[in-house]
Chains A and B, each alone.
Chain A
Amino acid sequence: MSSNTKIACKEIWKLYGSNPREFFEKNQRNPSDEAIKSEQYIPAVRNATFDVHEGEILVIMGLSGSGKSTLVRCLSRLVEPTWGKVEFDGIDLLQAPEKTLIEIRRHKMGMVFQNFALLPHRTVLQNIAFPLEVQGIDKATRESKAREIIEIVGLQGRDNYYPRELSGGQQQRVGIGRSLAVEPDIWFLDEPFSALDPLIRKEMQNEFIRLQSILGKTIVFITHDFDEAIKLADRIAIMYEGIIVQLGTAEELISNPATQYVEEFTRDIPRAKLLSVSSIMEPLSGTVSEHLSVFADDSIEKIARTVLAQESDVQVMDQQNQAVGMLRRQRLLETIFENSSEE
């Protein structure tokens, strides 16, 4: 386990059915698709192994029923995995007694839910102060803390409103505020913006980016929206039928999809925005423009217009201004129009 690993998951399995544990052991802890199907088990998560690094945003992406929500619930033990190991700051969560778990949840974890999950009988202030209240923190302290958070999430003046008096976006701000009240080390967000209108969703995504730039939390973010994943993620894990089919940066997924499924997902994504010059550059050969050169880690979108205005191909430099390759105009065009060419 490297020093900056926050959560380490090993071989997590979650099967639903009559007696999953026994079934799992009987099949040498690696049941096949056929066995699962024939004994009518539902595989929500299959053999998930991955780390969450400190300070990163790991997005788990998948369509509904892919097991992404179950997986994130295994990390906080809201769902008891059938098999596997979850280490959080070196503590084995699955072996931890109830008391330890409550302590960890009270101080180190925060979670935001798709449908907000606010308590309808409490005001904004009381909802945000709720996690502090169950810790037994006195009223004055917890309410002043909650007021700070209300400022951060931008709900000033709404302290005494009840959830039903707020719009969806505002309600989710309360949900976010509540999850931040205990200043958690790790922040789980389960499709936090999926229940919102597209415009509000975009606004909240930007708000989220702003918050993260202040807070710098370790984040596990669930979504079914690939655009959202690309916008927010440091790394993306794509799930399909309970299996993590690929885990990597957006660029890795697009330039090197592991399966047909990943490729289909990434097909409609505008490459120019995500791919860097280095992913399509070629070794130096032939003539290049003498007027222009580009950096290897520039995004294609950024340089496309100027490069295409040139008569010839251009040279690619690294940060030290050393030539590392060349970029052909033909290849650039192909990359930009790749999405539409297949239709």
Chain B
Amino acid sequence: MRLDRALLVLAPFSLLIIFKPWLPGWAITPPKSCLGGCADIDGMIPFVDWVNAAIVFLRKYEFFDAFTFRDITRSISGMVDSLLHFTEGLLHEGFADFGIGAIPWIALVGAAAIYGWYLRGWKLALLGSSCFLYLALFSKRGIWELSMQTLSAIAVSAPIAGLIGILVGILAAKRRTAERIIWPILNVLQSLPHFSYLIIVAIFFGVGSKAGVIATIVFAFPPMARLTLVGLQNIRSEVIEAGIMSGCSRMQMLFKVELPSARNELMLGVNQIIMQCLAMVVIASFIGQSGLGHDLLARLQRLAIGQALEVGVAVVFIAIALDRFSQAIANKQPTHLPEGTFWKRRPCLTTFIGFVAAILVLSPIAPFIAKFPEHLTISTSTFWDGIVDYITLHFYGPLANFRDALLVYFLIPFRSAITGIPWIAIIALVACLGWRMGGWRLALTVSLFVFFIAASGYWVRAMITLYMVLVSLMICAVFGIPIGIWASRREWSTRLMQNICDTFQTFPSFIYLLPVVMLFQISDVSAIFAIIIYASIPIVRYTIFGLRNVPQEIVEAAVTSGCTQNQMLWKVRLPMAFPEIILGLNQTLMFGLFMVMIAGFIGTVDLSQEIFRALTFNDGGKGLVIGLCVSFIGLTADRLLVAWSDRQKQEYGLA
């Protein structure tokens, strides 16, 4: 019965594929000119030209005949520039005008240690201090300065992005109409590839570190806005009522009751903002953001893999430290202070004051405090180069064979199959699925998404993107779900796997290109492997979550019914976890899309290559339209999979 209905949903799609030889040409690949017959554009509808016209109009537009849009962008970048000067002065350049040097390396190491100790204990103290120690010790190739540039860009962009996010979130929470407008925009923003932001920002703000920071802000604020909204909406109604009954005014309500009560979500938002900023600051090197990303990019372009890996490890260190610290801040619950002297009540603060005083006193007599002694610095790049050489020497042949076999026997046939599907068949497919999962509204939404891609003129490239994502998704599922099942069986393996996922997830996506380029040089295979490593994280994580969160009572009921371990897995846990696994697939697909776009950097022929071209030629219209194509692929899948998961949950009464 169920199978019959499923077949019915797939029928229009299958029929269109079967009758493909008899379909007219325009139904297979979307026509390259608009239906009216106008020439010289890429797609049915000239979205690109429209966006470019809008950009030209905006740049020239004068507000109140007083100032132009360019004046606005200039003043914004001026502000960002001065903030950036300040943080860079603090962290590595110093303020020459005032005769003040930068914060010495030893102060950062010590501060990280004391703060880590205060937040969670000696483990975090060790992690924080060793991160900075690594940066100082391995600074032969200027890694310390580059890291400080990266950190100062984060120090500027994260607070601004956080503030914007909170404001947008509050607006959405307080006004229903605002929520209705803001929510879908956030959805699109969060699924636009990094490079679309870079292109648009480069057009309005030029290139360089300040443009990079602005792109980072725009990229990083949506999760904060979303979490603020969710946090404010999830406050228990009793707490709000307690505020009202205490006689709070609107402002008192917001600042004294609502925002503090949403603390957990807001703190999660802070963590996400910081990690998003790091990821984007690294990628913003494409528009001239200085720092680790810039160096990484330059070395990768020269194929100096060993040196690139050295920088990559620094990025990874910073990522882990930032993530663990911001999580520790989020999880730090207020505790009452013990009675006694100041030292007893606030031991960490006292230590910190003493430490700063010691540095101030000692730095004039001991120069190594201000600057890490040069003769002690180390470079690891020869070590990494050695590894790369070793791999090339001993494994190149087999790896190349593996790569070629994969290409010839699997990837290329699969690619031809996907790109050969008539576009109207795909519209029919998503429309039917949408109708089945969520009714006609969903069907209409997803069909419009797909139609946009078809009309934009990037259909074939979009299908290549889809092929890469689908291949990766399949491989991720084949490996990720069993790994998740294995890990969920025991307490220790669950914790181990969650730790691995947490750690890997903090790395900026760009980092994943390094090992695959090392192994497979530049090809579809490298791109797909990078995607697989990066995108496997969510499917493993969600599988574990789903399996472990089956209600205890149900497990006990199954045990008392006499289930064996295997029966428990197949008949109880997996079916109950199914909705979560779908959500995991959804996340994997989103991660995959993001990674595909970055993988364009190492040479693929899908949408990402076009977007790199747009970046080179500063073509804003193309950048945005391709970005939207990627976003709509993601949103189509997201809508359908989430609706499917919700349906399943409702059927099981889990929702």
Contact = CB atoms under 8 A, between A and B. Distances in A.
Interface in A84-140: 102-103, 105-107, 109-111, 113-123, 130-131, 133-135
Given A113-B238, A134-B252, A164 B333 contact: yes
Interface in B238-279: 238-239, 241-242, 244-249, 252, 256-257, 260-261, 263
Contact of A160 (B244, B245, B333, B336): B336
B267 to A, nearest CB: 11
A120 B244 contact: no
A78 B244 CA distance: 8
A178 interface: yes
A78 B241 contact: yes
A23 interface: no
B335 interface: yes
B336 A123 contact: yes
Contacts of A133: 256
B257 to A, nearest CB: 7
A223 interface: no
Contacts of A116: 238
B252 to A, nearest CB: 5
Contacts of B242: 111, 113, 117-119, 178
Given A119-B260, A121-B260, A76 B333 contact: no
Q: Which residue among A73, A102, A103 has the maximum number of chain B CB atoms within 10 Å of its CB?
A: A102
Interface in B306-331: none
Contact of A114 (B238, B247, B336): B238
Contact of A119 (B244, B249, B261): B261
A122 B295 CA distance: 47
**Size class of the A contact interface (CB-based, 8 Å):** 35 or more
B302 interface: no
Contact of A134 (B239, B249, B263): B249
A119 to B, nearest CB: 6
Contacts of B252: 134
B263 A117 contact: no
A162 B334 CA distance: 7
A333 B248 CA distance: 57
A337 interface: no
Q: Which residue among B239, B247, B248, B252 has the maximum number of chain A CB atoms within 10 Å of its CB?
A: B247
Contacts of A111: 241-242, 245
A165 interface: yes
A265 interface: no
B655 interface: no
A117 B238 CA distance: 6
B241 A115 contact: no
A76 B263 contact: no
A161 interface: yes
Interface in A151-191: 160-162, 164-165, 178-179, 188
Interface string B328-347: 00000111110000000000
Contact of A106 (B238, B241, B247): B247
A162 B247 contact: no
B123 interface: no
Nearest to A132: B246
B236 A117 contact: yes
A96 to B, nearest CB: 13
Nearest to B249: A102
A219 to B, nearest CB: 15
A135 B247 CA distance: 8
A181 to B, nearest CB: 9
Given A105-B245, A115-B236, A130-B246, A165 B336 contact: yes
Q: Which residue among B238, B246, B261 has the maximum number of chain A CB atoms within 10 Å of its CB?
A: B246
A109 B336 contact: no
Interface residues of B, number: 22
A162 B263 CA distance: 15
Contacts of A106: 246-247
Nearest to A116: B238
A161 B336 contact: yes
Given A111-B242, A134-B246, A120 B336 contact: no
A122 B260 CA distance: 9
A116 B236 CA distance: 11
Interface in B461-497: none
B239 A117 contact: yes
A314 B257 CA distance: 63
B209 to A, nearest CB: 37
B257 A165 contact: no
B236 A134 contact: no
Contacts of B336: 123, 160-162, 165
A129 to B, nearest CB: 10
Nearest to A164: B333
Contacts of B260: 119-122
A265 B246 CA distance: 35
Q: Which residue among B242, B256, B260 has the maximum number of chain A CB atoms within 10 Å of its CB?
A: B242
A116 to B, nearest CB: 8
A131 B334 contact: no
A103 B244 contact: no
A134 B245 contact: no
Q: Which residue among A103, A109, A111, A164 has the maximum number of chain B CB atoms within 10 Å of its CB?
A: A111
Contacts of B238: 113-117
Contacts of B245: 76, 78, 105, 109-111, 179, 188
Nearest to A110: B245
B247 A105 contact: yes
Given A119-B260, A123-B336, A102 B247 contact: yes
A113 B247 CA distance: 16
Interface string B203-246: 00000000000000000000000000000000010110110111
A134 B248 contact: yes
Contacts of B236: 115, 117
A62 B257 CA distance: 31
B247 to A, nearest CB: 3
A328 to B, nearest CB: 52
Q: Which residue among A76, A103, A116, A120 has the maximum number of chain B CB atoms within 10 Å of its CB?
A: A120
A119 B333 CA distance: 13
A102 B250 CA distance: 10
Nearest to B260: A121
Interface string A54-76: 00000000000000000001001
B270 to A, nearest CB: 15
A300 B248 CA distance: 50
B330 to A, nearest CB: 13
Contacts of A131: 246-247
A141 to B, nearest CB: 16
Interface in B572-598: none
A115 B249 CA distance: 23
A105 B244 contact: yes
B217 to A, nearest CB: 28
Q: Which 6 interchain pairs have the tightest Cβ spacing?
A: A106-B247, A117-B238, A131-B246, A117-B242, A160-B336, A105-B247
Given A119-B242, A119-B260, 20 more contacts: A76-B245, A103-B247, A105-B244, A109-B245, A111-B241, A113-B241, A114-B238, A118-B242, A119-B256, A119-B261, A121-B261, A121-B263, A123-B334, A130-B256, A131-B246, A134-B252, A134-B256, A162-B333, A162-B336, A164-B333
15 contacts: A73-B241, A76-B245, A78-B244, A107-B247, A113-B241, A114-B238, A117-B239, A118-B242, A119-B260, A121-B263, A130-B246, A162-B336, A165-B336, A178-B242, A178-B246
Interface of B: 236, 238-239, 241-242, 244-249, 252, 256-257, 260-261, 263, 333-337
Interface of A: 73, 76, 78, 102-103, 105-107, 109-111, 113-123, 130-131, 133-135, 160-162, 164-165, 178-179, 188
